[in-house]
């Protein structure tokens, strides 16, 4: 199982400068390789005898010319340019397989990162050894035991982080308590409502800090391009964006940890978040909640604990279906939070009823499963081992 632990680094000025140079080298190499890929691909259209571009060919080409054309690349680790080209190769593989869009050029300030292979760095306690730099202090020790696979050093606002991927044989957390199955209904007013009746409000950090965010954005737009004052204003805005993201991420980690720790089977909806963001009245509130991130965390944390997540069909009428008798309403507006079933007369809270229907669907799908294939209108989410971010050390507040 591959797990990743993101640890904040504590570099001095010399080390931070090295990180910036290595990230700039990786960014330049990625953009150079993408431009070369495009030119070689266009040349192949006119001359079929030419070889199509590939990751390996671009790496060989860079190694043959970098000492003459880009000698400053030798001042940082060799992994910075080489891994950037390998990442471009994977980006094109995903594009041709239909899993991603066409690769875009990386930008300074947004894509400040570089990757190291396991033979190029060493972790010892609360420090990490970077090639051509030496030991750099870390804010905490590596949580997972196993074979270290790789590390990615990235800058977020004014802080540098190392995401260390470890191949471990044992799950990093104990099994779930197995309190049965639970349905999780996601919403804007309440981030998540469980079939048990529990409701968890989202932090809504963006709405709380929106006035300050607008003020800093206006201040940045008024600064002269290339001035030091603009750089200061840009950093302040980046810090605020990072703070909003951290508040949201911490809340989602606490909630997903609480749910997966207690329940073995979890039923959620397969929401079309991209389509929901097309509603200009609710787009900001939906984006502020982080629906897909919560689903992603539930999936890999449930896999860690031996549980499973079942996704209801996107068109499953969880809110309009009576959880008691199965009566289905024809219409149910978003402003209706409580309704009475015409069939059995039961009074329903909209969110709790939807969560209950999701739990019932998950239970029935699990019971009717045969040979690992889930029947019905729900499907089991099979999570392959993949690098994931780990929640903070703060105590879980939910549950």
Residues identified as active-site: 185, 269, 351
Q: Using CA atoms, how far apart are residues 244 and 236, in angstroms rounded to an integer?
A: 13
Task: Report the interhelical angle of 55-69 vs 13-46 (nearest 10°).
Answer: 120
Q: Using CA atoms, how far apart are residues 95 and 149, in angstroms rounded to an integer?
A: 25
123, 126, 120, 139: which is closest to 76 by C-alpha? Answer: 120
3-state class of 243 per DSSP?
A: helix
How do strand 265-269 and strand 308-312 relate by DSSP bridges?
A: parallel
E strands, the chain, are 2-8, 113-117, 122-124, 127-130, 134-137, 147-156, 159-167, 181-186, 192-194, 199-200, 265-269, 308-312, 338-340, 347-349, 378-380
Q: Which two tokens mark 237?
A: 């805005």
Q: Using CA atoms, how far apart are residues 125 and 112, in angstroms rounded to an integer?
A: 26
Beta bridge partners of 166: 3, 148
Q: Which two tokens mark 294?
A: 């919560």
Give the distance between the most distant pair of CA atoms in the chain: 81
String of DSSP letters for 1-53? -EEEEEEEB---HHHHHHHHHHHHHHHHHHHHHHHHHHHHHHHHHH-TTSPPP
Query: From its phi and psi, is residue 95 left (phi > 0), alpha (psi between -120 and 50) or beta?
Result: alpha
String of DSSP letters for 338-359? EEE-TTT--EEEHHHHHHHHHH
Q: Using CA atoms, how far apart are residues 53 and 34, in angstroms rounded to an integer?
A: 10
């Amino acid at each position: 199982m591959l797990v990743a632990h993101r640890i904040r680094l504590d570099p001095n000025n010399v080390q931070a400068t090295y990180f910036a140079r290595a990230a700039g080298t990786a960014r330049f190499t990625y953009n150079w390789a993408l431009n070369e890929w495009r030119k070689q691909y266009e040349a192949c259209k006119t001359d079929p005898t030419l070889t199509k571009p590939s990751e390996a060919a671009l790496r060989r080409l860079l190694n043959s010319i970098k000492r003459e054309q880009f000698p400053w690349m030798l001042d940082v680790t060799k992994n910075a340019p080489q891994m950037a080209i390998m990442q471009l190769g994977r980006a094109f593989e995903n594009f041709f397989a239909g899993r991603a869009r066409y690769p875009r050029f990386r930008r300074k300030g947004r894509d400040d990162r570089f990757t190291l292979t396991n033979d190029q760095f060493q972790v010892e306690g609360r420090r990490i050894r970077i090639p051509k730099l030496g030991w750099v202090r870390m804010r905490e020790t590596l949580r997972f035991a196993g074979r270290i696979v790789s590390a990615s050093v990235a800058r977020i606002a004014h802080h540098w982080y190392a995401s260390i991927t470890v191949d471990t044989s044992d799950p990093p957390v104990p099994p779930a308590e197995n309190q049965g199955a639970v349905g999780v209904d996601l919403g804007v007013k309440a981030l998540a409502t469980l079939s048990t009746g529990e409701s968890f409000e989202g932090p809504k950090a963006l709405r709380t800090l929106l006035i300050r965010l607008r003020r800093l954005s206006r201040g940045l737009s008024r600064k002269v391009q290339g001035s030091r004052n603009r750089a200061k204003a840009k950093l302040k805005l980046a810090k605020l964006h990072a703070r909003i993201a951290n508040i949201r991420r911490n809340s989602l980690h606490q909630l997903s940890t609480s749910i997966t720790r207690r329940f073995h089977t979890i039923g959620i909806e397969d929401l079309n978040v991209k389509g929901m963001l097309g509603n200009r009245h609710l787009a900001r509130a939906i984006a502020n909640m982080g629906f897909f991130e919560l689903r992603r965390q539930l999936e890999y944390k449930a896999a860690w604990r031996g549980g499973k997540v079942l996704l209801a069909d996107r068109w499953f009428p969880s809110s309009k279906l009576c959880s008691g008798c199965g009566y289905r309403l024809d219409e149910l507006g978003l402003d209706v939070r409580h309704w009475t079933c015409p069939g059995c007369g039961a009074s329903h809270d909209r969110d709790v009823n939807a969560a209950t229907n999701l739990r019932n669907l998950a239970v029935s799908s699990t019971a009717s499963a045969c040979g690992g294939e889930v029947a019905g209108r729900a499907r089991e989410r099979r999570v392959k081992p993949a690098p994931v971010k780990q929640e903070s050390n703060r105590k879980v507040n939910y549950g």
